[in-house]
């Protein structure tokens, strides 16, 4: 024991991996007591802890006092003995990766208690091959001075350089997107592309996608346990801040995944709600979004534990509801009741406006469609307005109504509203009921489709499903294919013919002539004035 204490007071020169005399002390002691001995050594050469393990492993204490894990390396290395002079084990390498150690070193113990081979592995910065660490060829104790010292320098330099680019490149939270489902890989990948769009719309930076198609979904983590470990390693290596699942997670799953990964965990619904919370401007939109958020959280409240308290602001904790995470179910229910009342008052105003509009007997057109189809752009070009348009999902939450004049003193009201999405969260649809009720007044629905999207057919289907849910499936409809300017003109023509659609580019007023004629035909059904 005295000899151990003697070690712990030693200082190691920075850049030196392990002095010979310490190596010899470690191996002789280890062989005497028949247990592994480990040293945690800081980048500065300080011995932070001496660890005594079993004959097969040493347990590493909490290292959180060292650099935060988000930085490339933790600034500490583990040197430990291997009683059978065996190479680094799978667990050694996992520890290296999960704890972001500077180095993992095993010193083999020979039968006579002298040092055998030295096994060294280290992490490597993110690379195309997705390699996480490098296991070096074993060295003898005599080789360790010359080659090994330089190794540390190189590793530090590489990671420091990388850190500088990370620090300056972007401050958006970095997300790993995950899909685990029994659906085909292709379908999952396509759907993940939309999740990437959603996360960009939420001001996040999607940096990586993980797809798994297991035989059966893991009840606790959705992903298999091995895959979860891969995800954590990837997340650490790529400095990800959060995981976003494309599938709905139960409250227990969110909690379990949060605990094993020590990361923020969101599912698609939470992400969509977050985008809505960021975008809501009018009081009505704010109330609707908050209602949806509270209803989503209500069944999850009893599960609140460390995984949720780790949501320190930022995504998922944003929006008008964030402090509400603190309140219990009853208070949440009270709040829901209060908001529902407020919503009622707000909808009364809306209802009055609606009645007035309907009584004016001006035909009403509604532009409906998948989010980002170009609905607001179309409204703008038809009515020379300036509703905000953006290449982001869900840029519009509030309904706008404008007058559109036709020749012969005819006019219609045309409205643009919130976009639709596949598998729209039911809480959201419920909450937006009063906004979407306006669709019931429409004499004609213009179903606008972004024909440039590879998934336009899925989009069309999703819109049909939602229109039926809203009970307006019987309203007259015009199918309009938008963004024909960015696809091959022949393909555009063929698709329009195949689907009986009108092709336009909402960016170019010269292309909307046929649409206007068709609207006139449909609305006035050949009535002459």
Ligand X SMILES: Nc1nc2c(ncn2[C@@H]2O[C@H](COP(=O)(O)OP(=O)(O)OP(=O)(O)O)[C@@H](O)[C@H]2O)c(=O)[nH]1
Please report how close the Cβ of residue 415 comes to ligand X at its closest, in angstroms.
12
Comparing every residue's Cβ against Mg ion, the nearest one is 396
CA distance 340 to 404: 34
State yes or no: residue 376 binds Mg ion (CB under 5 A): yes
Q: Could you tell me the sign of the dihedral formed by the alpha carbons of 434, 436, 438, 440, in that order? A: negative
Q: Which partner in Mg ion, ligand X, none is near 439 (CB below 5 to 8 A by kind)?
A: none
Question: What are the residues whose beta carbons fall under 8 Å from the beta carbon of 490, sequence distance 6 or more?
Answer: none
> Nearer to Mg ion by C-beta: 199 or 417?
417
Which DSSP state fits 250? Answer: -
Residue 446 contacts residue 481 (beta carbons within 8 Å): no
> Nearer to ligand X by C-beta: 85 or 372?
372
Task: Pick the piece of the chain touching Mg ion (CB under 5 A) from 283-291, 333-341, 349-357, 371-379.
Answer: 371-379
Query: The tokens of 250 are what?
Result: 């139960």
Of 184, 198, 162, the closest CA to residue 72 belongs to 162
Please report how close the Cβ of residue 201 comes to ligand X at its closest, in angstroms.
8
Please report how close the Cβ of residue 269 comes to ligand X at its closest, in angstroms.
17
Please report how close the Cβ of residue 229 comes to ligand X at its closest, in angstroms.
37
Of 329, 324, 267, the closest CA to residue 302 belongs to 329
Alpha-carbon torsion, ordered 325, 330, 336, 337, to 10 deg: -160
Burial (CB count within 10 angstroms: exposed 0-12, middle 13-18, buried 19+), residue 260: middle
CA distance 498 to 451: 13
Q: Which partner in Mg ion, ligand X, none is near 483 (CB below 5 to 8 A by kind)?
A: ligand X
State yes or no: residue 31 binds Mg ion (CB under 5 A): no
Comparing every residue's Cβ against ligand X, the nearest one is 419
> Nearer to ligand X by C-beta: 32 or 488?
488
Looking up tokens 């982001």 gives: 392
Q: Could you tell me the sign of the dihedral formed by the alpha carbons of 337, 342, 344, 347, in that order? A: negative
> Nearer to Mg ion by C-beta: 245 or 394?
394
Please report how close the Cβ of residue 379 comes to Mg ion at its closest, in angstroms.
8
Binding site residues, ligand X, CB under 6 A: 369, 371-377, 389-391, 393-396, 419, 482-483, 485-486, 505-507
Polymer length of the chain? 529
Please report how close the Cβ of residue 495 comes to ligand X at its closest, in angstroms.
14
CA distance 502 to 494: 11
> Nearer to Mg ion by C-beta: 81 or 396?
396
Q: Which partner in Mg ion, ligand X, none is near 254 (CB below 5 to 8 A by kind)?
A: none
> Nearer to ligand X by C-beta: 31 or 377?
377
> Nearer to Mg ion by C-beta: 184 or 509?
509
> Nearer to ligand X by C-beta: 366 or 395?
395
Q: Which partner in Mg ion, ligand X, none is near 394 (CB below 5 to 8 A by kind)?
A: ligand X
Q: Which partner in Mg ion, ligand X, none is near 317 (CB below 5 to 8 A by kind)?
A: none
Instruction: Please state, as a whole number, how many other Cβ atoms lie within 10 Å of the Cβ of residue 440.
Output: 13
Q: Could you tell me the sign of the dihedral formed by the alpha carbons of 127, 129, 130, 133, in that order? A: negative
Please report how close the Cβ of residue 518 comes to ligand X at its closest, in angstroms.
17
> Nearer to ligand X by C-beta: 209 or 417?
417
Measured in degrees and rounded to the nearest 5, phi and psi for residue 348 equal -65, -45
CA distance 493 to 503: 8
Of 257, 234, 235, 259, the closest CA to residue 245 belongs to 257
Please report how close the Cβ of residue 236 comes to ligand X at its closest, in angstroms.
34
Q: How many residues at the interface with Mg ion, by CB under 5 A?
A: 4
- In DSSP terms, 264 is beta-bridged to 242
Q: Which partner in ligand X, Mg ion, none is near 506 (CB below 5 to 8 A by kind)?
A: ligand X
Contact flags string 378-417 toward Mg ion, x per CB under 5 A: -----------------xx---------------------
Question: What are the residues whose beta carbons fall under 8 Å from the beta carbon of 278, sequence distance 6 or more?
Answer: 202, 203, 318, 319
Please tell me whether residue 448 adopts helix, strand or coil conformation.
strand
Please report how close the Cβ of residue 441 comes to ligand X at its closest, in angstroms.
20
> Nearer to ligand X by C-beta: 106 or 373?
373
Site residues for Mg ion per CB under 5 A? 375-376, 395-396
């Amino acid at each position: 024991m005295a000899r151990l204490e003697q070690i712990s007071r030693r200082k190691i020169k920075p850049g030196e991996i392990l002095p010979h005399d310490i190596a010899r002390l470690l191996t002789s002691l280890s062989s005497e007591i028949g247990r592994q001995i480990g040293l945690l050594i800081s980048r500065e050469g300080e011995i932070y802890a001496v660890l005594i393990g079993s004959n097969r492993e040493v347990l590493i204490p909490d290292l959180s006092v060292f650099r935060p894990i988000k930085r490339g390396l933790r600034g500490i290395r583990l040197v430990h003995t291997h009683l059978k002079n065996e190479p680094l084990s799978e667990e050694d390498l996992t520890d290296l990766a999960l704890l972001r150690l500077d180095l993992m070193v095993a010193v083999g113990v020979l039968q006579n208690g002298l040092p055998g081979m030295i096994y060294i592995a280290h992490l490597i910065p993110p690379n195309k091959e997705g390699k996480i660490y490098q296991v070096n060829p074993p060295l003898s104790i005599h080789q360790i001075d010359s080659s090994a010292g330089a190794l540390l320098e190189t590793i530090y330099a590489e990671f420091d350089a990388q850190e500088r680019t990370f620090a300056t490149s972007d401050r958006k939270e970095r997300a790993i997107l995950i899909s685990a489902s029994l659906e085909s890989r292709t379908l999952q990948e396509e759907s993940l592309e939309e999740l990437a769009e959603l996360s960009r719309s939420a001001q996040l930076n999607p940096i990586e996608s993980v797809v798994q198609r297991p035989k059966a979904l893991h009840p606790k983590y959705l992903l298999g346990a091995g895959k979860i470990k891969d995800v954590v390693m990837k997340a650490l290596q790529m400095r990800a801040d959060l995981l976003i699942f494309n599938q709905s997670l139960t409250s227990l799953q969110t909690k379990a995944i949060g605990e094993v990964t020590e990361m923020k965990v969101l599912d698609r619904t939470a992400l969509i709600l977050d985008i809505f919370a960021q975008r809501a401007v009018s009081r009505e939109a704010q109330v609707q979004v908050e209602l949806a958020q509270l209803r989503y959280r209500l069944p999850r409240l009893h599960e609140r534990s460390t995984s949720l308290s780790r949501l320190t602001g930022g995504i998922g904790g944003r929006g008008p509801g964030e402090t509400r995470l603190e309140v219990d179910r009853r208070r949440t229910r009270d709040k829901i009741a209060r908001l529902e009342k407020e919503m009622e008052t707000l909808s009364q105003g809306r209802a009055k406006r609606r009645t007035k509009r309907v009584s004016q007997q001006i035909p009403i057109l509604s532009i409906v469609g998948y989010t980002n189809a170009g609905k607001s752009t179309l409204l703008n070009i038809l009515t020379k307005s300036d509703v905000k348009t953006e290449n982001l999902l869900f840029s519009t939450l509030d309904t706008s109504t404008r007058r559109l004049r036709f020749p012969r003193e005819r006019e219609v009201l045309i409205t643009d509203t919130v976009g639709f999405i596949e598998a729209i969260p039911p809480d959201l649809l419920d909450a937006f009921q009063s906004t979407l009720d306006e669709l019931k007044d429409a004499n004609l629905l213009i179903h606008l489709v972004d024909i440039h999207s590879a998934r336009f057919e899925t989009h069309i289907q999703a819109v049909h499903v939602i229109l039926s849910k809203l009970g307006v499936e019987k309203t007259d409809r015009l199918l309009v294919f938008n963004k024909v300017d960015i696809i091959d003109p022949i393909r555009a023509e063929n698709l329009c013919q195949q689907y009986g659609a009108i092709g336009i580019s909402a960016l170019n007023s010269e292309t909307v002539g046929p649409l206007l004629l068709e609207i006139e035909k449909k609305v006035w059904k050949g009535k002459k004035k």
